[in-house]
């Protein structure tokens, strides 16, 4: 199964929390804080990025319950970042962006995600996939834009502060959470109805 690289924005804990040590030991997770935002970088295997993220979520929920995965951190890169990561010059990267050079499949460089000040930024996952066509990718699998959106949506649903998992269900004639939301069963979060 492929291994995917993720960086999650984390809440409900701090760097000196023992729960983070459990995740570091179990998942080989790396935690960092930048401008007040706690992040967890981790790799996980799965048939796709959503399934791999579900495994991470299930492990965090089981072994470090108060730690909350808020969303994926979008790895946005500018021209200088791309040049640094590929070992190429900014001029070379600019040629890719302008379409003066294409990858082996003839694909155009990805569209920018947005702008920061006067500089354009791109999703690293899309740039990395494009770079794979010229042999300059980082060798890692990253979630696609669609998978990132799916994972972020599911994180909002999976987190107990955002979705009432622990409510009581009438015992007859209603569907369980996993029947209404099959992805709950997908990550083993199915609750049994209360009597």
CA 145 to chain centre: 10
Q: What is the pTM of this model?
A: 0.77
**Residues 82-134: pLDDT tens digits?**
999 999 999 999 999 999 877 777 889 999 999 999 999 999 999 999 999 99
Angle between helix axes 79-86 and 90-98 (nearest 10 degrees) is 110
**Residue closest to 10 by CA, chosen among 44, 41, 38:** 38
């Amino acid at each position: 199964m492929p291994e995917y690289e993720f960086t999650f924005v984390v809440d409900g804990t701090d760097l000196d929390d023992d729960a983070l040590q459990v995740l570091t030991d179990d998942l080989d997770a790396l935690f960092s804080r930048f401008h007040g935002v706690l992040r967890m970088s981790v790799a996980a295997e799965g048939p796709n990025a959503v399934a791999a993220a579900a495994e991470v979520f299930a492990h965090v929920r089981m072994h470090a319950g108060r730690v909350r995965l808020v969303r994926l951190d979008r790895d946005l890169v500018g021209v200088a970042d791309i040049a640094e990561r590929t070992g190429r010059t900014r001029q070379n990267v600019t040629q890719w962006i302008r379409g003066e050079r294409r990858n082996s499949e003839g694909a155009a460089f990805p569209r920018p995600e947005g702008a920061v000040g006067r500089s354009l930024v791109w999703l690293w996952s899309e740039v990395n996939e494009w770079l794979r066509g010229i042999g300059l990718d980082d060798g890692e699998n990253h979630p696609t834009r669609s998978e990132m959106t799916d994972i972020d949506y599911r994180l909002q649903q999976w987190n107990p502060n955002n979705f009432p998992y622990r409510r009581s269900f009438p015992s007859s004639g209603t569907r369980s959470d996993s029947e209404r939301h099959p992805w709950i069963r997908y990550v083993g979060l199915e609750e049994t109805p209360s009597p």
